[in-house]
Chain A
Amino acid sequence: MSCFLTEEQQMLKDLCAQIAREKILPVREELDESGEFPWEIVRVFAESDICGVYIPEEYGGFGGGAMEMCVATEELSRVCGGISLSFAATALGTYPILLFGSEEQKKKYLPPIAAGEKLAAFALTEANAGSDAGAIETTAVLDGDEYILNGTKQWITNGGEAETYTVVARTKKGVGIRGISCLIVEKDTPGFTFGKKENKMGIRASATRELIFQDCRVPKANLLGREGMGFMVAMKTFDHSRPGVAAQAVGIAQGALDEAVKYARHREQFGQPVASFQGLQFMLADMATQVEAARAIVHQAARIVDSGEKNLAKISAMAKLFASDVAMSVTTDAVQVLGGYGYMKEYPVEKMMRDAKITQIYEGTNQIQRAVIASQLIKESAAKEKRGE
């Protein structure tokens, strides 16, 4: 199905498909079982120039945008939504620098990420601050030329493996979200340690860890933008990264759909392939339509992001919401289509179902996404009325 990709995007897609097929497919089951971080695959990404697809050329990247990021993420996620995270979550951790970094900060941090030498991670969530991001308690107190960080971040993807962390912390108390800032913190900074690695339901080939800051001193020069901009940095980052999560969800859903159709063609019961039964045909048709629609909204969101449009919140949230719900529904149906075999670990769909669930939760739960969309709708309606439309 043509998605009207440019020649370069098609090339990127083909390359990611090749990597997924030749390098990721053979190891996905094993890594899901062991939960080991896929450094071998990261090396392949690096050698193939994938890591920098969304980073400008002047910093060693490929110069692509959200569309390229989505094409790459979807293709890799078709084979493993966990392994693809080492790439996609790095993008999440890099966007704050891309969008708000000074020239010096970009020059320092972007090239190694583009080259695949270093990974990145975004650190916002805490034990008491999930959906309520404004309730974060990690503090960053200015002391001369340094900020002293104290606090604990929870469930950070790529935590412990990444070198570059964009951390959201409170620089001023008593002023709500206007007191939050975002800083770049490097691994191995004294006072910065990691907690246990989480044992997850899905996306097990990715690393999820606590980040522990104890009097961790970070140079003032590592502040992104200005003090108080932290919340906006986070929201704008999500605007850019949500299509990526949505693409991951589309990829997982497509992978599951492909397995389901293939299985249904081969599996025979009552003397014929189960794919000849209308009940299953209707299921597969619905699954496929959902995936196609999800892809369409993801590409729409990506193209809008790339167009330079400032108001991205609604479309990004819609893409993430829709695609992740589709992924959960399609993977569940895929397990159903495979029946008993779908429940067994030898077949890949149960993993895909486990992997899909997180897409409805992280980078803003789907409930938050709905709140964002509703809030935008209300704002837009009020503005229209004011203009006399």
Chain B
Amino acid sequence: MRIVVLIKQVPDTTEVRIDRETNTLIREGVPSIVNPFDMYALEEGLRMREAAGEGTVTVMSMGPPQVEVALREALSLGVDDAVLLSDRAFAGSDTWSTSYTLAAGIRRLGEVDVILCGKQAIDGDTAQVGPGVARLLGIPQVAYVKALTLEGATCTAERMMEDGHDVLRVPLPALFTVVKDINEPRLPSLKGKMKAKKAQITVWGAADLDVDPVELGLDGSPTRVMKIFAPELKAGGVVFEGETSETVPRLVEELLPVLRGETQ
């Protein structure tokens, strides 16, 4: 059985700021991390392999050479091999071109049974690449999966809905995007880290994949970012200090109009 987990290396979004004066992104030692939701996908892939007693887990990512760090992190958890899709031509991809390129990468791997992704990436927050890849590969998909059980050539998936969950039976091959509820990701082991350090990562560029250059990167992206700007600062910011008998009435005075729906 072959399981592929798609991961993305993202800047730690909690550290990204915008300089209000120049309207440019400030990157001061913003660390790069594996997208947190992808850690759950990796864990699920490893658990599926353990439950099945056989099979391999391959981690794949698209990005610049520094993404190798993220792939080695995945390897240190026990993933069997890693593939990096990296090429100047992929630069500037939006979710369409990313889905297109990843789908080509998966096709090159050959027969794949299960593809796992995190629900969304914390930098783009779009949650689009998973379903995009599924459509391009022509396979079924279930998103927002909170439980996954492998039963031979099918999977039973629980899809988290707003007020409960749907239970679905999915024939393989299929793609699943997972939510945090699904498992508790493991920590790497020392042996895993040692192995990861020495592991060979396969790198494929545009020439190694069956792709039409026109679909790649910035040029292949239907969407463009026109501008970025800082979010509005909240007006007000009044803090009351002192005795509860004084502060609470003042807060109540401010809140009553809000609760009555009188404020904009």
Do A and B touch each other in the complex, judged by CB within 8 A?
yes
A15 at the interface (CB under 8 A from B): yes
A47 touches B194 (CB 8 A): no
A53 within 8 A of B: yes
Q: Are A18 and B187 in contact (CB under 8 A)?
A: yes
Asked if B197 and A48 sit within 8 Å, CB to CB, the answer is no
Q: Contact size class for B?
A: 10 to 19
Interchain CB contact under 8 A, A48 and B194:
no
Q: Among the interface residues A8, A48, A50, which one has the most CB atoms of the partner chain B within 10 A?
A: A48
Q: With a CB–CB cut-off of 8 A, which chain B residues contact A49?
A: 189-192
Within 8 A of B (CB), among A1-16: 7-8, 11-12, 14-15
**In the complex, are the beta carbons of B197 and A47 less than 8 A apart?**
no
Cβ-based interface call for A44 (8 A): yes
Whether, in the assembled complex, A22 has its beta carbon less than 8 Å from a beta carbon of chain B, the answer is: yes
Instruction: Give every chain B residue within 8 A of A11 (Cβ-Cβ).
Output: 190, 193-194, 197
Measured in the bound complex, the distance between the Cα atoms of B189 and A48 in whole Å is 4
Instruction: Name which residue of chain B comes closest to A49, CB basis.
Output: B190
Q: Is A19 an interface residue (CB 8 A)?
A: yes
Q: Which residues of A contact B192 (CB under 8 A)?
A: 49
The answer, yes or no, to whether B186 is at the interface (CB within 8 Å) is yes
- 1/0 contact trace for A34-73 toward B, CB 8 Å? 0000000000100111100100000000100000000000
Chain A contacts for B140, CB-based, 8 A: none
The binding surface of chain A is classed by DSSP as helix
1/0 contact string of B178-220 vs chain A (CB within 8 Å): 0000000011111111100100000000000000000000000
Count of A interface residues, CB-CB < 8 Å: 17
CB distance from B185 to the nearest CB of A (A): 10
From B187, B189, B190, B194, A22 is in contact (CB under 8 Å) with: B187
Query: B189 to A23, Cβ gap below 8 A?
Result: no
Whether A12 contacts B190 by the Cβ 8 Å rule is yes
**Closest chain B residue to A53 by CB distance?**
B190
The B contact surface, by secondary structure, is helix
Chain A residues near B191 (CB, 8 Å)? Answer: 49, 62
CB-CB under 8 A from B186, the residues of chain A are 47
- Interface contact B189-A8, CB-CB below 8 Å: no
Contact string against B for A residues 320-347, beta-carbon threshold 8 Å, 1 for contact and 0 otherwise: 0000000000000000000000000000
Chain B residues whose CB sits within 8 angstroms of the CB of A15 once the complex forms: 187-190, 193
Say whether B197 contacts A50, CB under 8 Å: no
Cα separation A19 to B190 with both chains bound (whole Å): 12
> Cα distance A125–B186 when bound, in Å?
39
C-alpha gap A11/B189 in the complex (Å): 10
- Do B190 and A47 touch (CB < 8 A)? no
| Neighbour of B194 across the interface among A8, A18, A50, CB < 8 A | A8
Q: How far is the CA of A14 from the CA of B193 in the complex (A)?
A: 10
Q: Quick one: which of B187, B190, B192, B194 has the most chain A CB within 10 A?
A: B190
> Shortest beta-carbon distance, B128 to chain A, in Å?
29
Question: Cβ of A44: which chain B residues have Cβ within 8 Å of it?
Answer: 187
11 other contacts beyond A11-B190, A19-B187, A44-B187, with CB at 8 A cut-off?
A: A11-B193, A14-B193, A15-B189, A18-B188, A48-B188, A48-B190, A49-B190, A49-B191, A53-B190, A62-B190, A62-B191
- 24 contacts across the A-B interface (CB closer than 8 A): A7-B197, A8-B194, A11-B190, A11-B193, A11-B197, A12-B190, A15-B188, A15-B189, A15-B190, A15-B193, A18-B188, A19-B187, A22-B187, A23-B187, A44-B187, A47-B186, A47-B187, A47-B189, A48-B187, A48-B188, A48-B189, A49-B192, A53-B190, A62-B191
